[in-house]
Structure 1
Amino acid sequence: MTTARKKIIERLDQAMAAAEKMDPGDLLCSYKGVWYPVTHCSAETFKALESFEARSDDVLLVGYPKSGEYIVFFASSKNSRIKKLSSRRVFATHVFPPMLPTSIFKNNVKILVLIRNPKDTAVSYFHFSNSMPSLPSFKTWDEFFNAFLNGKVSWGSYFDHIIECNKHFDDGNIMFITYEELKENPNLGVKKIAEFFGFSLTDEESQTVADRSSFQTMKENSHKTHGAFGNILFRKGSVSDWKNPFTEAQNQEMDKKFEASLAGTKLGAKIKYGVYCKA
């Protein structure tokens, strides 16, 4: 295990341990109308974001929570440490897109945005929230569904997140890929991502990457890669799991929300709502 990986695991373990001792009402902090977990974010963190200087060869992974990406916050108060990192630096974030440092766009940093259909995202996020000590838990699925639909959850509204990302759909330095297409054809997804970042892979190499990054493989290795957090991060990783908890009334509510927020947008079309979110 690399030193960097050990530090990540230590930080996650410390955050969870600290959260377990906190009052539930103190787990979140608000910044510009969006709620964030205090064990991962703070006013100091967002201040550091403002002065963060991106490099043109940086790599940024962006996604709403439980869209399929790792949960690693983009910047920390230890900005000096980040500056010392050698290139190519890789960052991942759930932060609301308008909060990204302006230097990201000024320096044309390549950004990979991972998106997942809202119904599966909601179900996965519900289980994650109730397992993660640093996030508020919900007594029932119904309670969480209402909070999710109205953006009253950590890291804000799923729909607002996608709406903001959609504004950059045609930017040449940004690639959008869905969790569902990666599940359907992992090899092709790896090839697309590699091409975007300027790498050339043989069929054998892309298949090896796809195999190693499959949900099952990552879940089996989660304790080595994420420590105790791995047991929380990796649950099912399936598509259409939403059909289990959603009521017909909730289906209709989510359908109306999607129609009002994202129907007619390019990212809305890419999500293939009619394929993955209809019974």
Structure 2
Amino acid sequence: MARENHRQHEEAVADETALELLVHGVGGTTPQEMLDDPRTVRVSGDETAAVYRRVEDADAESRPEDYRGKPVPEAYVWCNLTSGDGSRALWLLLLPFMVVNLAHWMRPNARRRSRAVRLYGLLVRLTGLTLTVLFVAAACEVALDLTAWQCAGTPACAQQRSWLGFLSVDAHGAGGWWSQPGRRLALAALVPTALTALLWYLSHRTWSAYESQLPPRHQPEPDDGDASPALGRPGFWYGRRLVARLRAAHTAVG
């Protein structure tokens, strides 16, 4: 019986089609050059990043007997992820949040520990919200406290910075309409407000561009006890509802 089970396992493994993933460097290239074939077809992804195969290998999984002993080459083309205008530098603002996301996906496998998994996820999300609070609070400190309240309210400091002239008061306490403390603070509050709006805009672009990959309908999501890696799950790239809730939470705390 044990030998029969072992033989069936070996046959099942033999029927699985092996894949050879080809990834280009930072210089970028075309899938035709990577696969050394002018006829290629996109099997997953979009115009930004995608995986390609040769036309003759598009249905390799349905013909495993033709690929025994050799892998199916696939080309991952990601050069469009790093191309674009100067506005892409704004993504550096999201770098701290990327580290928090990595902490979430680097969680060790904890089968049969649903409470620990939920607690870990809660702590990671609270850490992300704390980063948003610190980010906006730093902008408030610079714009409202240091600039609008202290520097603009001190004639000696405002005289050295001509761009604060309309907010400052002179040595006798006289100034323009914007020199009133409340009005100065209200105007300076536009800085953290604009920063929060910018974070919302960047996260919305991510949500609309990278979180809309629908999972295949014929592949159900595994249960929580499944030990397979998250990257291999059918719905890994579909997070529109979850990311929308997280974006709303970060915008609210900001």
What TM-score comes out, normalization by structure 1 length? 0.19
Higher relative contact order (CA 8 A, sep 6+): 1
Mark the structure with the bigger radius of gyration: 2
Compare the two structures and name the one with the higher helix fraction: 2
What TM-score comes out, normalization by structure 2 length? 0.21
